[in-house]
Structures are given as C-alpha cells and as structure tokens.
Structure 1
Amino acid sequence: MILPDLRIFLEVNICIFLRSLLKMTSDHIKLFTDMKKICFSLIFSFLVFFGPFCVISKAQEEKTVIKGKVIDLVCYLDHGAEGEKHLKCAKTCIESGLPVGLKGEDGKLYIIVGEHKPINKELVSKAQQVITVKGKVVSKEGFNLIENAEIVQ
C-alpha cells in the first residue's frame, strides 16, 4: 500500500514541478520578449536622434584633393612674389614658420595646415612646385583653408 501512495505522491509532485518549470519558462519568454522590444526601441531612438549627427560629422570629414603651386603667403600677398626668382626667399620664409599656401588650379588661394600643426617642414622642398594635396577644405569670410593636409605627390 505504501508503494502506490509513494507513486501518486511522486507523480503529483513531479507534475507540480513541471508545471512550475513551464510557467517559469513562459514568464521568462515574456520577459525576454519585453526586453527585446525595449532594446529595439532604445536602438531605434538612438539612431533617430543621433544618426543625423553621425552623417553630418562624416560629411564634414570628407577629404578633397586639390592641385596647385606651393607659395610663401607673406611675400605673395605683400608684393606678389612667386616663381623661380623668389624660390630662395620662399624656402627661407616657409622654413622659418611663416604661413604657407597653395595657389590652386581652380584659381583660389589656400592656407595649408597639417593635423593641428604646421606642415612647413614637409613643404619647404616643394616651394614654387605644383603638388597635389588631400585634406578637409574649409572656406569662411573669404579665406580658404586645407586642414589635415597630406601631400599626395
């Protein structure tokens, strides 16, 4: 008589245990489903609010390639000095740290700077020569600037 009672006891307890597992599993599934919805909503909100800023900053960082002649800006702007006659003076001025520029083939005059530092040392040997520069071009109030300039040729 004890064995059938034990069997019934075990069956009932196993059924209760399995039901609790099933209930817990469905609760967990609901919880995970809710968490997925919350995560999706957060990601979507992040993309909606911050996505345009990422696109704008990426567009601003686009590099442009410009070809032109390396010039000493001080002498060029002061008295139009350029060419072979001015080569020695241009090298001296650029080497001493005076502003260096690019007289672009597009007719514009550009100030050239490296990545948050002067690029004069790299351009001394290129004075009065036509080179190609790649960098971020900024124009404001009549001034043209090539930032983060890299010499391509």
Structure 2
Amino acid sequence: MKRIFGACLVLAVALLLFGVLAYAAEKPAAASKTMTGEVVDLGCYLGSGMKGAGHKECASTCITKGGPMGLLTAKGVLYVLTMNHDNADAFNQAKQYAGGQVKITGPATMRSGTRSLQVDAVAAM
C-alpha cells in the first residue's frame, strides 16, 4: 500500500511540475506595431548594401523568385519580414512593393538578435 501511495505521490508531483513549466514557457503574443520603410531584398541589401530606387528592379526580381525580404526603416533598422501562417495575403502583397516605401502592420519580435515583423497589413506610402 505504501508503494502505491508513494508512486501516486511522485506522479502527482511530476505532473504538477510539468504543468508549471509548460505554463511558464508560454510567451504572450507580441503586440501589433505599424512601421514604415523600404521593402528590401535581403540578399542584395545584406551582401552589398543595395537599396533605393536604383535597385528597385533587381529587388523585385529577387523577391519574386523567392528571395527573403525585409523592411529597412528611415533610422536604418532592418526587420526580416515574415508571413502570417493563418493568412499570407498581406505578405504576398508586400512583394509588389520591392524597392518602395510602405507601411506594414503586425507583431514585431526579436529572436537570436534578429528583428522580425510579421506582415498582417501592408500599404504603399
């Protein structure tokens, strides 16, 4: 009888600890922000610093072919643009603004030193 009680007690404590750890690991969703800047193709921008109107055609080609894109703010802060997995429409729409100025709304996060902005809404400026 003592063995059964001991085993049940250990199991109950383990379940309690796992529940607490799982709850602590949950992070609240990032707040939605609206940011403005230029849609850049990350390959050319990070590799060669290419941006602006003179690079618009190349940026459009690279992004259309699947290259990653980012938002470069007026202060020089770069965000990797990410897709909302529930609705990719705004992310796909952002591709048409390669090399152009836009306003993007969505949650901004930072992981491993990389800033990202999920594209929930996009509009030309």
> What TM-score, normalized by structure 1, do the two folds share?
0.56
List alignment gaps of at least 5 residues for structure 2.
Answer: 1-22
Alignment equivalent of 1:94, drawn from 40, 63, 87 = 63
Aligned partner of residue 88 in structure 1, secondary structure: helix
Aligned equivalents of 1:134 and 1:99: distance in 2? 18
Once the two structures are superposed, the pairs formed by residues 111-122 of structure 1 within 5 Å of their partners are 111-116=80-85, 121-122=92-93
The runs of 4+ residues in structure 1 deviating greater than 4 Å are 117-120
Q: How does 1:44-123 map to 2 (within 5 A)?
A: 57=28, 60-116=29-85, 121-123=92-94
Q: SS state of the match for residue 112, structure 1?
A: strand
The worse-fitting range, judged by mean Cα deviation, of 71-80 and 81-90 is 81-90
Matched residue type, 2:122: I
Cα separation, 1, equivalents of 2:78 and 2:41: 11
RMSD: 2.5
Matched, 1:146 2:117: yes
Matched residue SS, 1:113: strand
Identity %: 27
Higher helix share: 1
CA contact (8 A) 1:139 1:145 kept: yes
Size of the aligned set, in residue pairs, is 99
More strand by share: 2
SS for the counterpart of 1:65 is strand
> Would you say the 8 A contact 2:40–2:99 is kept in 1?
yes
Q: 2:52 is aligned with what amino acid? A: G
- 1:118 is displaced (CA, Å) by 8.7
> Normalized against structure 2, the TM-score is what?
0.67
2:103 matches 1:132: yes
Distance 1:84 1:105, change over 3 A: closer
